[in-house]
Structure 1
């Protein structure tokens, strides 16, 4: 039997990883809020680069739902180079959460330095407590992700998501938005997810392989979603680029009609739509499915809905809390692109050679010039 690819091995390890890090992250999040010392925060700004930004986009909705704070997800480059002081630190009641597994990316370190110089409050969510990011953070949420076979990051994304969600729950208890009983129920729902995901994995692998064979020769890929599932779409688009190297775009469900609808290569631009039954954009997703299929666009719908109709549909487990779907629905899309990359014989990240040699050792992201604005 042929050994599964490194990325597929990462994907299959996710339920076990979630179980392994669950208790530790609960305790870490509790210790974090316990050390806030009664200080009040009115706004949380979440950021990161690449996959970490996708995690910030997804978690924004958890902070909006579980806490009394306003929550915003913004790119690191905007926060470091564009935002003014009043938007970053407010009157001292803003919390800036910077997500970076390595903690060594130039731009996140630059941002942490800028926030600290303004007297703001920086939280680093990172796997590296001695990194440049951690050095300039007021608090560190440590990611304990055991080493694994190298591939485009799926385990690191899972770890970041889980950490941010536990942080949101603890902050909700801290500011009184969540009572301890409800917070306990949300945590229990997260704890149950790995076993539920495991029961779906075998079917996902079959369906992901089948769909991958249908779209392996596509000219490009669109990942579409709304709310926290737009974050899953962004993550899927990143995995598409890293594995296949083909053009890929993430789009929200509404703007697909305003822009992507007009792509000329109708039969060869594949669409993966990610939607859950409880979200408010389901009716728009139904319209998108109808229009795309009528056009002849290859489309796969990843959803927990039994009633949502699509010619190609991959079912995921539902959850009691709509915002938790982002902890699940990124995986099937990652499976699809893992399979396509294997079928193409592509090497992850183009192996950092030839035209892409500039990225060797992460040089393009860790050696960028830092400019710390006042």
Structure 2
């Protein structure tokens, strides 16, 4: 880490901006709480690349700090993102510190960045981007912890503890991966004929949901969007033919919006939507009486009267995850079940990824499509 950014420079950072495109943007947003908590820097933003490059003024970038107190991080696994390179150029031109998180130091963005953090992922299949996404998540948490260590908001023992916590947490998840993999394949078979999906999550898990959305589109070319537990009630609940939507709901027991998400799941089931719940909570935590709904005037009950076939005996599928040592760590694994489901749903329909451009069976890209 010292080779990436010397400790003296790191200690002087008071403002962080992280940007990227596609998966990298999702990683930046998912790790924003980690960056703020670990570094002790509250002035942290994660705009998408086009917003940062074309709409952020110098004043908005600095936010009352000096340019030399600002760290601008671009995430690009390939290092060849034009917008990532532009973001780093912007940092250099105004005198801020530019840092690239990548696997390819020798790249377009790598040539621009003053500081480079090479994640050095091993060789292997990365399509459609799960390994690179995970590497970006870990790298951003490492940057946050390193800044905190240099600034004195983390002790050396706490820095080491965080590293061990991440490792133990991921290992505990990997102990379940075979069962989760089988579960997602079985669910993909059941959801084989669905052409529309929606992913629901709140706060930083909303960026995990965004990543899962991206995988559904990239792998199978199906319609998919992501929303929050609140916006589901305001908008998505009124979609035509709701039973034709496959739902992926992501929620942790410690989340402040747990009661609202529980109602959202109830709304999905009332509309006969096939629903997967990715959670660290026990399934019984989602059982709720209509009298305890966390919504005015029993909203879902009102809009699902007996005339609308409200009564449903359907149950969601629960994918149980280990409890994260700290809430900001949950995005390190919570994207995996939904991403597996997206890949398998494409596979059982014999759809090559990226609109026919990638044959997942033999890991070959086609230039003929």
Q: For residues 265 and 45 of structure 1, what CA distance do their matches in structure 2 show?
A: 41
Q: For residues 112 and 360 of structure 1, what CA distance do their matches in structure 2 show?
A: 32
Q: How many residues align?
A: 328
Bigger Cα displacement from structure 2, 164-173 vs 177-186: 177-186
- The alignment's C-alpha RMSD in Å is 1.9
**2:30 matches 1:58:** yes
| Structure 2 alignment gaps of length 5 or more | 287-314, 359-364
Structure 1 SS opposite 2:255: coil
* Equivalent residues in 2 for 1:123-202, closer than 5 Å: 123-149=99-125, 151-202=127-178
Deviation, structure 1 residue 30: 4.6
| Structure 1 alignment gaps of length 5 or more | 1-28, 354-358, 362-374
Could you report, residue by residue, the CA deviation over 1:235-279 in whole angstroms, capped at 9, with x for unpaired residues?
Answer: 101110111101111222222222222211211111101111122
Q: Counterpart of 1:101?
A: 77
Q: Counterpart of 2:54?
A: 81
Could you report, residue by residue, the CA deviation over 1:318-343 in whole angstroms, capped at 9, with x for unpaired residues?
Answer: 12111111111111111111111111
Could you report, residue by residue, the CA deviation over 1:126-162 in whole angstroms, capped at 9, with x for unpaired residues?
Answer: 1111212122212111120122135211111111111
Deviation, structure 1 residue 32: 3.3
After TM superposition, the runs of 4+ consecutive aligned structure 1 residues lying more than 4 A away are: none
Deviation, structure 1 residue 107: 1.5
Deviation, structure 1 residue 39: 4.7
Q: Counterpart of 1:239?
A: 215
Deviation, structure 1 residue 223: 1.1
Structure 2 SS opposite 1:297: coil
Q: For residues 321 and 146 of structure 1, what CA distance do their matches in structure 2 show?
A: 27
> Which protein has the larger Cα radius of gyration, Structure 1 or Structure 2?
2
Structure 2 SS opposite 1:190: helix
Q: Counterpart of 2:18?
A: 46
* Equivalent residues in 2 for 1:328-367, closer than 5 Å: 328-352=333-357
Deviation, structure 1 residue 38: 5.8
| Conservation of the 8 A alpha-carbon contact between 1:61 and 1:227 | no
**2:255 matches 1:283:** no
Q: Counterpart of 1:72?
A: 45
Q: For residues 124 and 38 of structure 1, what CA distance do their matches in structure 2 show?
A: 15
Q: For residues 38 and 53 of structure 1, what CA distance do their matches in structure 2 show?
A: 23
Structure 2 SS opposite 1:195: helix
Structure 2 SS opposite 1:300: strand
Considering Cα pairs closer than 8 Å and 6+ residues apart, tell me whether 1 or 2 has the greater RCO: 1
Q: For residues 290 and 74 of structure 1, what CA distance do their matches in structure 2 show?
A: 33
